[in-house]
Structure formats: C-alpha cells, structure tokens
Amino acid sequence: CHLLLCMCAKRIVPFPLIDHISHLELYITSMEKLVVNFRSNGEKEVASAFTKFAEFSKELLTPIKNLSMLHNINFFLDSLVKGDLKEVKGDLKKPFDKAWRDYENKFTKIEKEKRELAKQYGMVRTEVSGGEIAEELEKERRMFQLQMCEYLIKVNEIKTKKGVDLLQNLIKHYHSQCDDEGIIECALSVQIKHRQDEEKRQLCSLRDQLRPSLQPELKEDSLSKQTFYSMHQLQGNKHYGTEKAGYLYKRSDGLRKMWQKRTCIVQNCYLTIAHGTPNKPPAKLNLLTCQVKPSLEDKKCFDLISHNRTYHFLADDEPVCVAWISVLTNSKQKALNVALDERRPSGDNSVEDLTRAITEDILRMPGNNMCCDCGAPDPTWISTNLGILTCIECSGIHREMGVHYSRIKSLSLDKLGTSELLLAKNMGNSGFNEIVEANVLSPSLKPTAESDMMVRKDFILCKYMECQFAQHSSSSFSTLRRKLQEAVCSRDIFSLLQLYAARLDLSQPLANPEKGETALHLAVLLADRTSLHIVDFLVHNCNNLDVQTARGNSALHYCCLHNRTECLKLLLRAKANIHNSEFLLNILRSLLDELCIAQYTSKYNIHIKLHIHIHSTTPYTKSKTQS
C-alpha cells in the first residue's frame, strides 16, 4: 500500500509549484513508511537504502521551497509597484487636490469681496486675516481635513506594505534558507508596525469625527457621481440618428499618448475603429456593453468605456463631438431596447452577448480555471451569492447545504442574467479562498478531483457552514461594526467577505447619524455603476433585507428616494418587503413600469423577472491575489 502511494506521488507532477511541493512531501512520507516496514521485516540493508533516498529527496525539496518563497516576494513587490504605489501618484490624490483647490478658491473669492467692500467705503485693505473669514470657510476647511485623512490613511497602509510587510517576507525567505534565527531580529519591525497601526487608528478616529458634519456634502457628491455615470441620464439628440461614418482622433495607450487619426463607423449598434496598419483588422465594439462619457475638461473630447478598456477620442470641434456622442448614445439605446423587448431570440447586439462576454471574463479570472473546493479543472457551476466556480460534484454538496449558504447555477445549462454574474465578476476563486481557507495548514488537507464524496462533503460543510478555515477576529463588536462600515464606504468586497466569514451579522445597525441604518442602507446610498457588487453581496448574505431606520425607511425606500433603479432590481429579485406602504408602492410601480421588468399578482405583491440585466461597470480593482 505504501509502495503504491509512493509510486502515485512520484508520477503526478502538477503544474502549480505548491502542489508539486505537497506531492514531493507525500512521496518522502511514503518512503519513510517503507523504511519502517522493511526494518520490521528484518531487511535492514533495504531499509538503509530507502532511508538514503528519503534524505536525498528532502535535500531536493529545500531549494524548491525556497523558490516558492522567492516567487511570493517577487509577486508582492510587483503588485506593490504596479498597484498601490502607482495609485498614490494617480487617482488616489485627486480628491485631496480638489479639496485644496476648493479651499483656495473660496479663500480668494472671500478675500476679493472684502477688499471690494472696503474700497466702496474709501478704505484700502492690503490683507484679510484668517479670523475674519474662518466661519465662512468652515465647510471647505473640514472637507480638506477629511480628504487629507483619507489620503494619509491610504499612504499609511502602503508604507506598511512597502516596509514592515516586505521585511517580514524577506525574514521568512532568509529563515527558509538558513536555520540561524538569531542574526535577524524581528523586534524592530514589530515596533514600527505598532507605531504605524497607532497612527492609522488616530487618523481613522479623526476621519470619523469629521464625517458626520459633512454627511450632506458627501451624499450630494455621491449622487452627482452616480448621475453622471448613469446610462439613463445621458440622452443623445435624436436628430443625429443611430448611424454615422467619419474620422476621430484616438489617443494611443503607449507612453507618448499620441492622438492618431482613425476612421470610425457606427452601424447596427456597433462601433468599428480602423487600425493604423492597413492589413490589420479593425476593432469592433458592441455598444450595448459600452458607456459614453463626455470629458469635463475639453468639450471636444469624450471617452468610450468597454468591458475591458477605455478609448479616448478627440473631434475637430465641439459640434462634431456632440454629434458623435449623440449617435453612440442613440445606437446604444436602440440596442438596449431590442434586447429588453426580446424582439430577437439571439443576435450580436443582445443581452445574451453581454452575458456571454462577462462569463468568458469570469472564466479567465485568477483561480477560476479550477474548482474552488477540490481543484478539479474547468468548473462550470457558479455560486451566485458567493461569486465562485465549482465542479459538478462539489456543486451537488452546495445544493444540499441550501440556498441560504450557496445558490448554485450552471454556466452552460441555465439562462443567467447579468445580475447573477455581478459577484463572480468581482470575486474570483483565488481571492475567495485566501480569506475562507486562510487557516488551511496544508494543501493536502483539501479534497482533490479524485476524492470521494464523503471527503468532499466534510470539507465543504466545515468551510461554508462553520467557516472553520477562515481567520476569525478577536475584535469587539463595535470594532467589527466599524470595519463593516469602512468596507462598504471603500467598496472593498474582500473586507466584506472577511467579516461575513467571521460570522458577523451584516444586517446589524451601523453607527450612523440616522439611527438604525444598516450596511445595506449605506451601500444603496453610496451605490453607483461600479459598486453594485457590494449591494448584491449584502442582499444575498445579510439576514434581513427589511430592516427599517428610526424614520421608517427600508433599503427599498432608499432605492426610491435616491433613484437607485439597479439596486431596486436586486432587492425586488430577493423578495424584499414593501411594508404595505402606499407611498413606496406608487414610486415602485412608476419605476418598474418604466423598466418593464415586473408583474403584479396583487396590490402589494410584485414579482421581478428572474433573469434581469443590471447596468453595471466593472471597477477593475485588483483581486485579493493580485493586490
């Protein structure tokens, strides 16, 4: 039996390095058991030979482990340079810079008004003291302080990654090659990390003090962002029609960012962009899956955001730019009407094409080439409330657990709406398992594609029903509640998953100014096209969708009051309660009749169509394994 295990472990050499290491360890263990058997049978010479082979294999295993650790360090540095450090120089600092510009502009304006007023009375003022205008600049000053806190918190996190975390990884790499642990002392890194954690705690405390006084401005800013990105708000001039041919200047993606003249054609709900090289095929974009975004800085420019990249265009003048934006928007609206009216069962410009494109993107995400639970290749079953892919054997166990733990659908057999793919597009098996399997001590503890059903079932029940392998926090309830609020505000799906795995009740009220507001209320309030997956996760996994605030507002009320139609679809699909509210019912009827996605079985009983389309834009944040 031990010889058979030894032979199997030696023959199976899988591609991932960590699997290869685990099989080598199994091979060495099997040989050591053979040594014991031969010694017990009196064959000391054979036992001695196998002992030497086992020791030789252990020597081979050490450099492979070192290679794995070095690979982890390289990946850590690569993600740090390409992710966090690049973000500091890019979009992360924009709110901070904007708040400072607003403060300076307001100060200059007030100073000018004071001087003009003095001039009217025949006086000359050389300067205006800060004390005179402090009250008028209160809002701008607090907003600047808040944005500075947000920026410094992120910089603190990056400093920790760049310094202490990198140092810890290097120490682990050193100890994997050298047994002398006395040369490198870890006390300094622990002190630095403690100091940085204390600095972050103070910044978070200051930020939480500033937020309540600026809540109306933050809500207004969130609404303005959502309105700008909402497809329903951008309406093209119908006079320009749905087809157009001509040329535009497209900005290249290289380092030089040059504007290159390209022939563009809008026809049959597609945009065709000619390539610079004549013998190369043109780029063809399905406008149903794209979003048109006018530029705020230059009226002659606009962006076209597809599911995988952003195209920057420049027209000759402003009227030409308006014409192109109108044609693209009209053509997209036409494609959407055709898809929603289901006038054609199939076709290039339909919701089915969008679903197919999203499914292909999901299959290419990290870890999605193998089952989330057993590692079987090419999984085709999706858990819509967890955002993971499994094989057909493991999907059967997921069904047995019940829909309150996992909602299983087939990517190939079931007709899925884009709303059912929201979480999978933003989660991925690798990112999910880094949290839910954080305490799996060895890969050998996980079932494999060859494991029998009982082994799979025991592991899956411990993983999902008991969250046995997740890293549980010892933090207080108030701390976990604050982390929940931060996860929703920062749109961090993995922090949200960490709290879910820690068995936190996601429907508990938050420490908000309006008493009784939950994470779902806050997610709906802050929702835009890039954060619908946060709303979807909470809708699927919180215990109560119908929690009302002190003012009697449920999450459905928030959808109606703040015009969150996409969140409304998700809540009604999950059968959220209307609470017999005539006010809510009237607003719901008008919105749903406009969207044509519901049917009414009684006065207060609304059934949403199962396979609905959600107008979302992927935020393109790195997954947990990439960041």
The tens digit of pLDDT for each residue in 334-367 reads 887 776 664 444 444 466 777 888 888 899 888 9
Place of tokens 């360090």: 73
For residue range 419-428, what is the model confidence (pLDDT) as tens digits?
Answer: 888 888 888 8
* Most confident range, picked from 57-61, 515-519, 520-524: 520-524
For residue range 271-311, what is the model confidence (pLDDT) as tens digits?
Answer: 999 988 888 888 889 888 788 888 877 889 999 988 778 89
CB within 8 A of 59, min separation 6: which ones? none
Q: Which fold has domain 238-349?
A: PH-domain like (2.30.29)
Confidence of residue 581 (pLDDT cuts 50, 70, 90): low
Domain boundaries, the chain: 2-87, 90-210, 238-349, 352-465, 477-608
Answer whether 523's CB lies under 8 Å from 535's CB. Answer: yes
Please give the class, per CATH, of domain 477-608: mainly alpha
Answer whether 69's CB lies under 8 Å from 176's CB. Answer: yes
| C-alpha closest to that of 511 among 76, 164, 204 | 204
For 249, counting Cβ atoms within 10 Å of its Cβ (0-12 exposed, 13-18 middle, 19+ buried), the class is: middle
429-436 and 493-501 helices cross at what angle (nearest 10)? 40
Q: How far apart are CA 499 and CA 374, in angstroms?
A: 24
Answer whether 528's CB lies under 8 Å from 225's CB. Answer: yes
Kindly report the average pLDDT of the chain as a whole number.
75
Place of tokens 């009983």: 605
For residue range 481-514, what is the model confidence (pLDDT) as tens digits?
Answer: 889 889 999 889 999 999 998 888 888 888 765 5
CB within 8 A of 62, min separation 6: which ones? none
What values do phi and psi take at 383, rounded to 5? -95, 105
Beta bridge partners of 408: 383
- pLDDT over threshold 60, residue 591: no
For residue range 22-31, what is the model confidence (pLDDT) as tens digits?
Answer: 777 777 787 7
Residue 626 pLDDT: 40
For residue range 224-268, what is the model confidence (pLDDT) as tens digits?
Answer: 443 333 434 467 788 888 999 999 999 887 667 788 899 999 998
For residue range 363-389, what is the model confidence (pLDDT) as tens digits?
Answer: 988 899 999 999 999 999 999 999 999
| C-alpha closest to that of 330 among 233, 241, 231 | 241
Domain 352-465, second-level architecture: Orthogonal Bundle (1.10)
Place of tokens 């406008």: 287
- Rg of the chain taking only CA atoms, in angstroms: 29
H/E run at residue 545: none
392-401 and 453-460 helices cross at what angle (nearest 10)? 50
